[in-house]
Structure 1
Protein backbone atom coordinates (compact mmCIF):
# COMPACT_ATOMS: atom_id res chain seq x y z
CA UNK A 1 0.00 0.00 0.00
CA UNK A 2 0.97 3.65 -0.20
CA UNK A 3 2.53 5.72 2.51
CA UNK A 4 0.26 8.14 4.36
CA UNK A 5 1.67 11.63 4.68
CA UNK A 6 0.05 13.89 7.25
CA UNK A 7 0.00 17.60 6.49
CA UNK A 8 1.00 19.78 9.45
CA UNK A 9 0.42 23.47 8.95
CA UNK A 10 3.03 26.05 9.81
CA UNK A 11 0.80 27.33 12.62
CA UNK A 12 0.52 23.82 14.12
CA UNK A 13 4.30 23.30 13.98
CA UNK A 14 4.79 26.66 15.70
CA UNK A 15 2.22 25.75 18.37
CA UNK A 16 4.03 22.45 19.07
CA UNK A 17 7.39 24.26 19.24
CA UNK A 18 6.04 26.83 21.69
CA UNK A 19 4.55 24.12 23.91
CA UNK A 20 7.86 22.24 23.98
CA UNK A 21 9.72 25.46 24.78
CA UNK A 22 7.26 26.30 27.58
CA UNK A 23 7.61 22.78 29.05
CA UNK A 24 11.40 23.07 29.00
CA UNK A 25 11.20 26.46 30.73
CA UNK A 26 8.75 25.13 33.33
CA UNK A 27 11.02 22.14 34.02
CA UNK A 28 14.01 24.45 34.46
CA UNK A 29 12.09 26.47 37.08
CA UNK A 30 10.31 23.48 38.68
CA UNK A 31 12.51 20.41 38.14
CA UNK A 32 10.56 17.17 37.81
CA UNK A 33 10.49 15.22 41.08
CA UNK A 34 10.32 11.86 39.27
CA UNK A 35 13.27 9.81 40.61
CA UNK A 36 13.45 7.62 37.48
CA UNK A 37 14.41 10.63 35.37
CA UNK A 38 11.50 10.21 32.97
CA UNK A 39 9.93 13.44 31.79
CA UNK A 40 6.20 13.81 31.71
CA UNK A 41 4.58 13.50 28.32
CA UNK A 42 7.15 11.05 26.95
CA UNK A 43 4.38 8.74 25.80
CA UNK A 44 2.80 11.45 23.65
CA UNK A 45 3.31 11.03 19.93
CA UNK A 46 3.49 14.22 17.89
CA UNK A 47 4.54 12.71 14.56
Structure 2
Protein backbone atom coordinates (compact mmCIF):
# COMPACT_ATOMS: atom_id res chain seq x y z
CA UNK A 1 0.00 0.00 0.00
CA UNK A 2 1.11 3.53 -0.62
CA UNK A 3 3.14 2.63 -3.72
CA UNK A 4 3.33 5.21 -6.46
CA UNK A 5 3.44 3.98 -10.03
CA UNK A 6 4.72 6.50 -12.55
CA UNK A 7 3.96 6.17 -16.25
CA UNK A 8 7.12 6.58 -18.34
CA UNK A 9 6.47 7.18 -22.03
CA UNK A 10 8.31 5.00 -24.53
CA UNK A 11 9.98 8.09 -26.03
CA UNK A 12 11.50 9.00 -22.64
CA UNK A 13 12.81 5.44 -22.13
CA UNK A 14 14.32 5.50 -25.64
CA UNK A 15 15.93 8.90 -24.95
CA UNK A 16 17.46 7.59 -21.71
CA UNK A 17 18.77 4.48 -23.52
CA UNK A 18 20.36 6.58 -26.26
CA UNK A 19 22.02 8.85 -23.69
CA UNK A 20 23.47 5.81 -21.83
CA UNK A 21 24.83 4.39 -25.09
CA UNK A 22 26.33 7.73 -26.13
CA UNK A 23 28.05 8.07 -22.73
CA UNK A 24 29.46 4.54 -22.99
CA UNK A 25 30.81 5.23 -26.49
CA UNK A 26 32.28 8.56 -25.40
CA UNK A 27 33.94 6.95 -22.36
CA UNK A 28 35.41 4.21 -24.57
CA UNK A 29 36.99 6.86 -26.83
CA UNK A 30 37.91 9.37 -24.10
CA UNK A 31 38.38 7.39 -20.88
CA UNK A 32 37.80 9.41 -17.73
CA UNK A 33 41.03 10.29 -15.93
CA UNK A 34 41.89 7.93 -13.09
CA UNK A 35 42.75 9.26 -9.64
CA UNK A 36 46.41 8.81 -8.67
CA UNK A 37 47.16 5.34 -7.33
CA UNK A 38 44.08 3.69 -8.83
CA UNK A 39 44.73 0.84 -11.25
CA UNK A 40 43.27 1.13 -14.74
CA UNK A 41 40.68 -1.35 -15.88
CA UNK A 42 41.72 -2.45 -19.38
CA UNK A 43 38.65 -4.60 -19.95
CA UNK A 44 37.04 -4.07 -23.36
CA UNK A 45 33.88 -2.01 -23.45
CA UNK A 46 30.92 -3.67 -25.11
CA UNK A 47 28.07 -1.77 -26.70
CA UNK A 48 24.64 -3.14 -27.40
CA UNK A 49 22.49 -1.59 -30.06
CA UNK A 50 19.28 -3.20 -31.17
CA UNK A 51 18.18 -3.06 -34.77
CA UNK A 52 21.27 -1.33 -36.10
CA UNK A 53 24.28 -2.12 -38.25
CA UNK A 54 27.52 -1.17 -36.55
CA UNK A 55 30.75 -0.63 -38.47
CA UNK A 56 34.00 -1.24 -36.63
CA UNK A 57 37.04 -1.02 -38.84
CA UNK A 58 36.65 -3.44 -41.73
CA UNK A 59 33.80 -5.46 -40.27
CA UNK A 60 30.08 -4.82 -40.09
CA UNK A 61 28.37 -6.11 -36.97
CA UNK A 62 24.69 -6.88 -37.21
CA UNK A 63 22.65 -6.83 -34.04
Given the two structures, how large is their TM-score scaled by the length of structure 2?
0.52
Which residues of 2 match residues 22-41 of structure 1 at below 5 A?
22-35=22-35
Higher share of residues assigned strand? 2
In the aligned structure 1, how far is the partner of 2:6 from the partner of 2:28?
32
Count residues in correspondence. 37
Quote how far apart the aligned CAs of 1:34 are: 3.4
Q: What are the ranges of 5 or more consecutive residues in structure 2 without an aligned counterpart?
A: 39-63
1:12 aligns with 12
Tell me the TM-score normalised to structure 1 length: 0.68
Q: What per-residue deviation string (whole Å, max 9, x for no partner) do you get for residues 1-47 of structure 1?
A: 520011111000000000000000000000000326xxxxxxxxxxx
List 4+ stretches of structure 1 deviating above 4 A. none
Larger helix proportion of the pair:
1
